[in-house]
Amino acid sequence: MAGIGKEFMKKTEFEYLGPSDQMQGVPHPLLEVPYDRGGAVISLPPPSSITVNPIDLRDAIEQRRSVRQFSDNPVTLAELAFLLWCTQGVKETVQGQFTFRTVPSAGARHALETYLLANNVVGLKPGIYRYLALEHQLAEIPADPDVAERITAACVNQQFIRNNGATFFWTAAAYRMTWRYGERGYRYLHIDSGHACQNLYLAARAVGCGVCAVGAFHDTDMNTLLQLDGEEQFLVYLAAVGKTE
pLDDT attached to residue 219:
98
Nearest to 116 by CA among 206, 220, 224, 240: 240
Assign 87 a pLDDT band (cuts: 50, 70, 90).
Answer: very high
208 pLDDT band, cuts 50/70/90, is very high
Question: Strand, helix or coil at 10?
Answer: helix
Instruction: Give all domains of the chain, ordered by start, each with its CATH number.
Output: 53-243 (3.40.109.10)
- Give the span between the Cα atoms of 169 and 236, in whole angstroms: 8
Tell me: the pLDDT tens digits for 33-46?
Answer: 998 887 899 999 99
Please give the pLDDT value at position 64: 94
Beta strand 90-94 with 41-43: parallel, antiparallel or unpaired?
Answer: unpaired
Mean pLDDT of the chain: 96
| Per-residue model confidence (pLDDT) at position 39 | 81
Closest CA to 239 of 205, 216, 206, 207: 216
pLDDT at 46: 94
Question: What is the model's pLDDT at position 181?
Answer: 97
User: How far, in Å, CA of 43 to CA of 182, rounded?
Assistant: 35
Is the pLDDT at 1 greater than 80? The verdict is no
With CA atoms as reference, report the closest residue to 99 among 110, 88, 114, 111: 110
Model confidence pLDDT, tens digit, residues 123-171: 999 999 999 999 999 999 999 999 999 999 999 999 999 999 999 999 9
Question: Coil, strand or helix: which one is 213?
Answer: strand
Sheet arrangement for strand 112-118 = 41-43, 137-141, 127-132, 112-118, 166-173, 233-243, 209-214
For residue 35, what is the DSSP state?
-
Give the model's pLDDT for residue 206: 95
Asked if residues 161 and 169 have their Cβ atoms less than 8 Å apart, the reply is: no
The pLDDT of residue 126 is 97
Global model pTM greater than 0.75: yes
What is the Cα–Cα distance from 104 to 108, expressed in whole angstroms?
7
Average pLDDT, stretch 82-93?
Answer: 97
